């Protein structure tokens, strides 16, 4: 008797449920970040944190964010769905606290305009990634390489600024490159999520994958928004 391998084919309802769950969690994370960011700025919480830590608060928060992302991505297969949700929400709240400083740097109108612009760009590229028949895998590899270059360039320019030798023009170029790269990654990540949905069921494993996908999309959106703000935001 020949061995036959059977593959699970999800129903259309299960596919849509996976996609809905992914984008819903991304939306929840953005809402949490927005609420925390506004509250931290209006209440003076972020100022209190910076004063209490001698100006090192942002560095501490950034390190904590990196730790949460690394912890979530490295343990996503082992932890429960509830813990994955908790870590994701905790990260989005922490990120909201970190970016609350934009309210002291940029005008409220420019923050709103850049947010709407980022939303429009994200929606357009995400829709493209979901609908296109083109394979974006190769483009995704190049975009990830470009992202690594942006991270290295940003760190170097940041260090140079500490010594008074940083370049505002270089910082501008990094912001332009970030908009291009994260806009492209939005399409790539969206297509990747669409492909995963073709084998998704309603198991805990795919519920956690949806949260991980939401994290990737969340990071794409946040980076587009912050890059647009650095480029076009009106400073106070």
Task: Give tens-digit pLDDT for 179-223.
Answer: 999 999 999 999 999 999 888 887 888 999 999 999 999 999 999
Cα separation of 210 and 196, whole Å? 9
Boundaries of every domain in the chain: 12-232
- Residue 106 phi/psi, 5-degree rounding, is -120, 155
pLDDT of residue 1: 36
Among the listed residues 52, 51, 62, the one whose alpha carbon sits nearest the alpha carbon of residue 97: 62
Please list the alpha-helical segments (H only) found in 100-203. Answer: 102-105, 108-131, 137-162, 168-197
Tens digits of residue pLDDT in 19-77: 999 999 999 999 999 999 999 999 989 988 888 887 687 888 888 888 889 888 889 88
Map tokens 């996609």 to a residue.
Answer: 19
Among the listed residues 64, 124, 126, the one whose alpha carbon sits nearest the alpha carbon of residue 90: 64
- Here the tokens at position 64 are 């904590």
- Here the tokens at position 217 are 């999309």
Map tokens 């500490």 to a residue.
Answer: 162
* Residues 6+ positions from 161 with CB-CB distance below 8 Å: none
Among the listed residues 97, 27, 35, the one whose alpha carbon sits nearest the alpha carbon of residue 62: 97
* From 68-77, 112-121, 129-138, 214-223, the region with the lowest mean pLDDT: 68-77
The three-class DSSP label of residue 126 is helix
Cα separation of 129 and 191, whole Å? 5
Left (φ > 0), alpha (ψ -120 to 50) or beta: where does 3 sit?
A: beta
């Amino acid at each position: 008797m020949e061995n036959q391998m059977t593959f699970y084919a999800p129903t259309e309802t299960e596919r849509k449920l996976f996609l809905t769950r992914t984008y819903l969690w991304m939306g929840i994370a953005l809402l949490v970040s927005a609420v925390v960011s506004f509250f931290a700025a209006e209440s003076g919480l972020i100022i209190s944190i910076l004063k209490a830590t001698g100006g090192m608060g942002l560095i501490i928060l950034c390190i904590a964010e990196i730790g949460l992302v690394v912890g979530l991505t490295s343990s996503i297969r082992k932890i429960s769905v509830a813990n994955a949700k908790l870590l994701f929400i905790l990260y989005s709240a922490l990120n909201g606290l970190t970016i609350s400083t934009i309210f002291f740097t940029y005008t409220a109108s420019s923050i709103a305009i850049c947010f709407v612009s980022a939303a429009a760009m994200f929606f357009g590229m995400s829709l493209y990634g979901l609908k296109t028949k083109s394979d974006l895998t190769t483009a995704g590899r190049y975009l990830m390489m470009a992202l690594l270059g942006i991270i290295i360039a940003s760190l170097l320019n940041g260090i140079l600024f500490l010594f008074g030798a940083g370049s505002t023009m270089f910082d501008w170029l990094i912001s332009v490159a970030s908009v291009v790269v994260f806009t492209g990654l939005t399409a790539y990540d969206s297509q990747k999520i669409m492909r995963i949905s073709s084998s998704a069921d309603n198991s805990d494993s795919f519920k956690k994958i949806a949260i991980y996908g939401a994290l990737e999309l969340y990071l794409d959106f946040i980076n587009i928004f912050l890059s647009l703000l650095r480029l076009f935001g009106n400073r106070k």
